[in-house]
Amino acid sequence: MKQAEPSEPQTSALPLHMIDILRRKRDGLALEAHEIEFVARGAGSGEIPQDQLAAWLMAAWIRGLSLDETRTLALAMRDSGEKFSSAGLGRTAVDKHSSGGVGDKTSFLVAPLAAACGVAVPMISGRALGHTGGTLDKLEAIPGYRTALPLAEFEIVLKKCGASIVGQTPALVPADRVLYALRDRTGTVENPSLICASILSKKLAAGLDALVLDVKTGSGAFLRMYEDCEFLAALMVATAEATGTRTVALLTDMNQPLGYAAGNWIELVEAVDLMRGKRPTASEDLRELSLILAGWMIFLGGQAESEQAGYARAEKALIDGSALRIFFEMVAAQGGDLRVFDDPGFHKPGATRVLESWESGYVATMDTTALGWAVQRLGAGREKAGEPVDPHAGILFHARRGAKVERGQPFATLYATTAAQLDEPEAILKQAIRFSETPPQSVPLVSRIFTSAEAEEYLARQ
Ligand code: URA
């Protein structure tokens, strides 16, 4: 990441003007803490117009934010609205957050798994962003599920179920709500500092004792270069640790969608099937990553002596049904209609197409970002902020990376809102997937782990 030049001294006694701040960032100067705080506060309160915020985001994207600027931005965004205190929960509060992926439904598993093992999971999540899906959009596929809970109700659900997954209300981290939607529309998502501040502002506003970060790497990650992912992981760990939140980051593989489903409702079904004891081979990576992440949450939450012992506890909670019970309790407590999970007729996409394999061979590479856009164009994501998403749109992959396929065998099932929306995603898929005559090299699911000490050491070397 580019580091901004040192700033010219500014006196904080003078009134601030957004135009001056964005011109200074445009010119590559480092901003002072009170200037960054002004931007975050003004974004949250609506006092800074969207055009100026968009220009500032682009300047920050191009010029970069220093470590200090990034930390200040994360904390100022956290403080832009009301905050949740986990003190009254009577349990250690731990969450996990991912830097954004395709088919990433681990939240539905790790939240109840960790809660079943004695930690509280107050999870404030986001909507679909760019090519990636959003936990809130997926949960809202359940009729009645409310993601906008007032903090008092969030606390009630947490005390009752041990886990609650909600979104930012206008009062909670309003700066991120505004900046997140603007970044989605202005091509300013893929920047380590902006991603770090966005993720941590939400996580730190939830009053967490500990945090597990899942930083995606590979063709579906926001940051394509592995070194940028390492930097993001170290930056987030060091920033969160500096606020007293025990944090660890795992670099995980996103060279293909996680599990076999990418969309909204169909992702929930895959996660719930795992909690119901089904174990399809195509969901093994999802199962394994969820247990690893939950294992870290349980360990950092003081409910296991090591992350491996946490993994073993999480696996037990998956097998004995306690995670499923907690997930259903949480859904019901937030107004969701549980009957849909037993109603095969609920999934009613407007149009369906089974795409047959157009070549024979091994599935060698997947451009997962392109696959994410295909999912979005089927109707599962949005073109413009505020648009509704189609709960039933998405893709079921019948072949995954490394699979040997014959031309003509079912490769994927596409679900769209209308038949007219099927052609473009089909074309995207055909471009995004490459076949080979020999099996591709396997990629580790977790390639690197940053603890606090490793993050500090890494950043000191930058
Ligand atoms: N998730 C977030 O919450 N924010 C980002 O910027 C990227 C992923």
Q: How far is the CA of 216 from the centre of ligand 1 (A)?
A: 11
Q: How far is the CA of 59 from the centre of ligand 1 (A)?
A: 19
HSE toward the beta carbon, residue 235, CA cutoff 13 A: 30
Tokens of 139: 């949960």
DSSP category for residue 81: S
Ordered per-residue pLDDT tens for the chain, 462 residues: 444 555 554 555 788 999 999 999 999 999 999 999 999 999 999 999 999 999 999 999 999 999 899 999 999 999 999 999 999 999 999 999 998 899 999 999 999 999 999 999 999 888 877 888 899 999 999 999 999 999 999 999 999 999 999 987 888 899 999 998 899 889 999 899 999 999 999 899 989 999 999 999 999 998 999 999 999 999 999 999 998 999 999 999 999 999 999 999 999 999 999 999 999 999 999 999 999 999 999 999 999 999 999 999 999 999 999 999 999 999 999 999 999 999 999 999 999 999 999 999 999 999 999 999 999 999 999 877 678 899 999 999 999 999 999 999 999 999 999 999 999 999 999 999 999 999 999 999 999 999 999 999 999 998
Which residues, in sequence order, are bridge partners of residue 216? 252
Class at the top of the CATH hierarchy for domain 351-436: alpha beta
Interatomic CA distance for residues 265 and 286, integer angstroms? 16
CA distances from 428 to 243, 372, 395 (A): 43, 10, 12
Which atom in ligand 1 lies closest to the alpha carbon of residue 198? 4
Question: For residues 231, 236, 239 and 241, what is the CA-based torsion angle, rounded to 10 degrees?
Answer: -120
**Nearest residue CA, atom 8 of ligand 1?**
99
Neighbours of 28 (CB within 10 A): 14
Interatomic CA distance for residues 244 and 357, integer angstroms? 51
Neighbours of 198 (CB within 10 A): 26
Q: Where are the domains of the chain?
A: 87-169+203-342+445-461, 351-436
Fold held by 87-169+203-342+445-461: Pyrimidine Nucleoside Phosphorylase; Chain A, domain 2 (3.40.1030)
Q: Which residues line ligand 1 (CB under 6 A)?
A: 99-100, 126, 129, 189, 195, 198-199
**Nearest residue CA, atom 6 of ligand 1?**
195
pLDDT tens column, 377-411: 999 998 776 788 999 999 999 999 999 999 999 99
User: For a pocket test of ligand 1, which of 124, 180, 186 has the largest count of ligand atoms closer than 8 A to its C-beta?
Assistant: 180
DSSP per position, 129-149: BTTB--HHHHHTTSTT-----
**Nearest residue CA, atom 1 of ligand 1?**
99
Neighbours of 389 (CB within 10 A): 23
CB 266 within 8 A of CB 277: no
Closest-CA residue to 251 (of 234, 265, 263): 234
Phi, psi of 20 (to 5 degrees): -70, -40
Q: Would you say the CATH fold of 351-436 matches that of 87-169+203-342+445-461? A: no
* Amino acid letter, residue 266: I
Closest-CA residue to 109 (of 256, 338, 347, 287): 287
Q: Which helix (H) or strand (E) holds 181?
A: helix 174-186
Interatomic CA distance for residues 444 and 305, integer angstroms? 25
Task: Map tokens 């000490």 to a residue.
Answer: 453
Task: Map tokens 């969820």 to a residue.
Answer: 290
Interatomic CA distance for residues 99 and 250, integer angstroms? 11
Neighbours of 117 (CB within 10 A): 24
| Model pLDDT, residue 168 | 79
CB 339 within 8 A of CB 144: no
**Cα angle 261, 193, 258; round to 5:** 10
Interatomic CA distance for residues 411 and 237, integer angstroms? 39
Q: Which helix (H) or strand (E) holds 294?
A: helix 284-300
Q: Which helix (H) or strand (E) holds 247?
A: strand 246-253
